[in-house]
Amino acid sequence: MLHLNYLTVHHNKETLCVNDISNVHGIMIIMPTLRDLANLVRFEHTIFALPFALTSLLLANPIGDWPSLWTLLWVLLAMTGGRTFAMGLNRIADAKIDALNPRTASREIPTGKVSTRDAWVLTLGSMGLMILAVFQLPLICQQLLPVALIILALYSYMKRFSSLCHLVLGIALGSSAIGGWFAQTGAWNGGLPICLGLGVALWVMGFDVIYACQDTEFDQAQGLHSIPAKLGNHKALQLSRLMHAGSVLSLVYFILMYQITIGFGMIGFGFVIATLLMAILLIWEHRLVRADDLTRVNMAFFTLNGQISMGFFVFVLIDRVLLWLLPEYVAFSQQVFDALHLSPLQ
């Protein structure tokens, strides 16, 4: 009897262990799926647009008047939802193209790591999140929501019929700066957010052209459109340099317009440093990539552009804090602007 009871208990323990292992294996199955979904939409690339949306939130406020936590939360959710919607739709639309391209054949949908159904669930759910968040923001954000959704969706199909696909992507990410401004003020403020958005848009267009140089031959063979496929890599990289020069000039013009529209002393030397840092990193970016050597495109695309966006936000944040706490910093900034001929009073 005792022997029988021991066997029963021992059998139950083995059953329990097997069930525990099955549960562990179940977790192991779920976790890679979540990771694959994040990889599908390149979640880490949110670093490109989000810092500029936060920068706009800061610049749209008077000195010492900070965005509310609720505004910050809804902007973060709207940005994350909108970008995930755009990337998810892009991966779904390009699944067959990605499968044919050796560079992209290992992506999640072509390899079956993520099913088309799961991709649609993520994409539509993200769109719902964006809509929900935008309706917690000022009326102008709600009114422009259909335009934003159209732009986000259009990029995924643009390269099938026009090499202006880079322009659409630039407008999409440049809109993040405009949207951040509207989320805080609900107003145009003399076109200031458009000027800032233009700087971001030209920056994005420039690095997207660089990235597209990797697929020039493939795009030409498949009848897909891009600036490198139309002009060749050499001319495309020259055009990318012009776009990045235009981006820096737009930000310099923003400094002048900001002082005229908002008032002098409301923007400081930190913004000049952020713009200068951006210019230096863009010059370095173009030194890394040549028409006959694209081996360092990934470093130019992700590493440097991530540093540009995050660095810009950090310097603007420091600038706002110093303008708030130190009157001496305002005077110092005025001296710098005068020396650089960036003061509208000259």
Asked whether residue 343 is domain-assigned, the answer is yes
Same domain, 215 and 260: yes
The pLDDT score that the predictor gives to residue 217 is 97
- The domain in which residue 23 lies consists of 1-40
pLDDT band at 24 (very low <50, low <70, confident <90, very high): very low
Above 50 in pLDDT, residue 180? yes
Sign of the CA dihedral 158, 164, 169, 173?
negative
What is the identity of the amino acid at 27?
I
Same domain, 125 and 208: no
Same domain, 326 and 218: yes
The predicted-structure confidence for 254-310, as pLDDT tens digits, reads as follows 998 998 888 756 789 999 999 999 999 999 999 999 999 999 998 888 889 999 999
- The CA distance from 246 to 272, in Å, is 16
Same domain, 270 and 295: yes
Asked whether residue 56 is domain-assigned, the answer is no
Same domain, 324 and 185: yes
> Is the Cβ–Cβ distance between 270 and 316 less than 8 Å?
yes
Strands (E), the chain: none
The predicted-structure confidence for 45-58, as pLDDT tens digits, reads as follows 888 889 999 999 99
Same domain, 279 and 143: no
Same domain, 147 and 240: no
Instruction: Return the number of other C-beta atoms located less than 10 Å from residue 334's C-beta.
Output: 17
Same domain, 278 and 170: yes
Same domain, 169 and 71: no
The predicted-structure confidence for 127-179, as pLDDT tens digits, reads as follows 999 999 999 999 999 999 999 999 999 999 999 999 999 999 999 999 999 99
Same domain, 136 and 192: no
Asked whether residue 57 is domain-assigned, the answer is no
The pLDDT score that the predictor gives to residue 9 is 40
Asked whether residue 49 is domain-assigned, the answer is no
Residues 6+ apart with CB under 8 A from 195: 250, 253, 254, 257
- Our count of domains for the chain comes to 3
Last residue of a domain, one of 105, 132, 158: 158
